[in-house]
Structures are given as structure tokens and as C-alpha cells.
Structure 1
């Protein structure tokens, strides 16, 4: 099983799934996404003959990755607040 990532939805019809482990991009109909899927969701996907044959929403990885992003953004915001120079 491979991890997939919902990178984006195009024209409200097609979902672009990235499988970083194998460096491939898959485009599937939005209607084929598991319930609860949204951009930046992670999935456990099974691929055969260069097609996704099954996918399951991986809520744990989705949450873990989002927490990493939130933490990184908080650190960036904190750093950007402190300037050593006074504004006139």
C-alpha cells in the first residue's frame, strides 16, 4: 500500500492525487474520493496497472501532517513579529 495526497481539485470535477513514494500523479473523478476527503488529505492507495484501484482516507496522517504545517506557520509568524529596528 502506498500513501497518496490530495493536492488539489480541478474544475470541481477532478482530484489530483500525488503518490510521492513512486513519484506519480493520478487524476481521478471527485466522485471516486472517499467520504470526508478534502484538499491536503492523505490516503492509503492501492495501484495496479498505473491506476488507483482502491483508496482509504488516512485521517491519522492527515492530522499529523496538518499539525506539522500549523506548527511551522506559528514559528514563522512568531519570528516575523520581532524586528530589531524601530519604525518611524
Structure 2
């Protein structure tokens, strides 16, 4: 199943959202795979209701970032947009 790094709290805890089970998990950020950043996507393995495995899903992360970039570009192109670059 997929998980999403929503945020880092207190500069030491990573909050992973897993929609398939509608739950958030909090782990030490040192347990994140190398290259992880806020808004990264992961392939998550759960055992006994806890995260047992976490692998960075670079393809899902790149796709998500591209969708956000496309939406922002559409907003910027609309006349009267508050999101236009100066």
C-alpha cells in the first residue's frame, strides 16, 4: 500500500499518512529511506498495525509533484490570478 510523508514534527518525527487504512503513523525521521522529503510517497508494509517496511516510491512522488506544478501553472495563467509571479 502507499503512504505519504505529510510533515515532520519537532524536527524528529515523521508523520506518514496511509489512506488504505485511513490512519497516520508517526516514526522517527531517521527511519525514513534516504532521499525522503516532505510530500514524498512510499510503498508501505504494515505488520500488527505498525509500519514494518518503507520504500521511497520515486515515480509516485514525481507524478504528484508534476500534478501540483500543472495546477499552479493553470492558476497563474488565469486573468486576475493571485498566483502570478512578479
The TM-score with structure 2 as length reference comes to 0.90
Q: How large is the RMSD of aligned CA atoms in angstroms?
A: 0.7
Q: In the alignment, which residue of structure 2 is the partner of 1:27?
A: 26
Number of aligned residues: 80
> How far off is 1:39 after superposition?
0.1
| Over 3 Å off, 4+ runs | none
1:63 Cα shift? 0.1
Structure with the greater alpha carbon radius of gyration: 1
Give the SS at the match of 2:59: helix
Counterpart-to-counterpart distance in 1, 2:3 and 2:58: 12
1:9-32 Cα deviation digits (max 9, x unpaired): 001100000001211100000000
In structure 2, list runs of 5 or more residues that go unmatched. Answer: 81-86
**Any stretches of 5+ residues in structure 1 without a counterpart?**
84-88
**TM-score, length basis structure 1:** 0.88
